[in-house]
A = this chain, B = another copy of it.
Amino acid sequence: MDLSAIVADIAAEMADAPDRGRPADYIPPLAAVDPNRFGMAVIEADGTCHLAGDAEESFSIQSVSKVFALTLALGAVGDQLWKRVGREPSGSAFNSIVQLESEHGIPRNPFINAGAIVVADILLGRYEPREALGELLRFVRAAAGEDGIFIDENVAKAEQDTGFRNLALASYMRAFGNLHHDPHVTLGVYFHQCALAMSCRQLALAGRYLAAGGVNPTTGRNVVSAQRARRINALMLTCGHYDGSGEFAFRVGLPGKSGVGGGILAIAPGIASIAVWSPGLNERGNSQLGTVALERLVQRTGWSVFEPR
């Protein structure tokens, strides 16, 4: 069966799936999203693009943005970044503050909230707040080769109004000296970054450099080195799904990063960049149908990184 048919079949199966999880409801803009949406975009190494369902509809990518912010921050400060953020799975809920206490304000990895807040703070060591968001937007647009990507101010505003747990994390790391700017300023950048709105198609396009050894296929230029691309993929595999990362590796077997908006970016190195979106979340806070869709895609294509080559 060819890939287009596989993608279409999966989307059709997902349309009828009874158990769709529960959309995030901690801010109104996310709670308002129709739980019946499902989109999928698969972009092969040669640029062939397979879309299905709501693949062209924008959604809030939320934590998927942490992949792009990390790439940008690594470009800005290099491996110095790892002095302030770890590289180990967290082994607990994505918003846990406990580990910060026992590990003196160093978050376990750049994909839990605390780690991503430090990454935002690192960007602020190089850019003014507004400039940092401009750089991030420019980065994502260039990676996707699309200008129609924007930050949803409504979402950012809603996060800022309710984000007391993130304020606690940021203040706590500031108390340990691992935040260098005012927590509110750093969180301003962080909340706007998470409010990036993209479609599955745009997200899969933006992720191509991770599937292509660090190279943007449109421009042929290195976004990051091949080694750094491999390493970001490794982090996505071990830490990309909060405390469900082991489960995702077990079932799907691809580097992936999920967001609370229901999106997942998954990478099949050398083969494809994949984005799925369905707002309902499973008990670990990852897209319920997005995970199922990726599991089926990998079963039918053999793209797992653990598949014999």
Q: Which residues of A contact B (CB under 8 A)?
A: 45, 86-92, 96-99, 101-102, 108-109, 164-165, 167-169, 171-172, 174-175, 183, 211-213, 229-231, 233-235, 237-239, 243-247, 249-250, 253, 255, 269-271, 304-309
Alpha-carbon gap, A102 to B234, bound state (A): 28
Q: Is the pair A246, B238 in contact by a Cβ cutoff of 8 Å? A: yes
Q: Which of B211, B238, B245 contacts A308 (CB 8 A)?
A: B211
* A3 CB, min distance to chain B CBs, angstroms: 16
Q: Is the pair B91, A269 in contact by a Cβ cutoff of 8 Å? A: no
* A43 CB, min distance to chain B CBs, angstroms: 14
**What residues of B have a CB within 8 angstroms of the CB of A231 in the complex?**
250, 306
Q: Is the pair B101, A96 in contact by a Cβ cutoff of 8 Å? A: yes
Alpha-carbon gap, A75 to B68, bound state (A): 42
Alpha-carbon gap, A230 to B302, bound state (A): 11
Alpha-carbon gap, A229 to B302, bound state (A): 13
Alpha-carbon gap, A172 to B261, bound state (A): 23
Q: Is the pair B183, A172 in contact by a Cβ cutoff of 8 Å? A: no
**What residues of B have a CB within 8 angstroms of the CB of A96 in the complex?**
101
Q: Is the pair A88, B246 in contact by a Cβ cutoff of 8 Å? A: yes
Q: Is the pair A270, B89 in contact by a Cβ cutoff of 8 Å? A: no
Alpha-carbon gap, A86 to B245, bound state (A): 12
Q: Is the pair A249, B269 in contact by a Cβ cutoff of 8 Å? A: no
> What are 18 A-B contacts defined by CB distance under 8 Å?
A87-B247, A88-B89, A88-B245, A88-B246, A89-B89, A90-B91, A98-B98, A109-B246, A165-B171, A165-B172, A167-B175, A167-B183, A212-B308, A235-B246, A238-B250, A270-B308, A271-B308, A305-B305
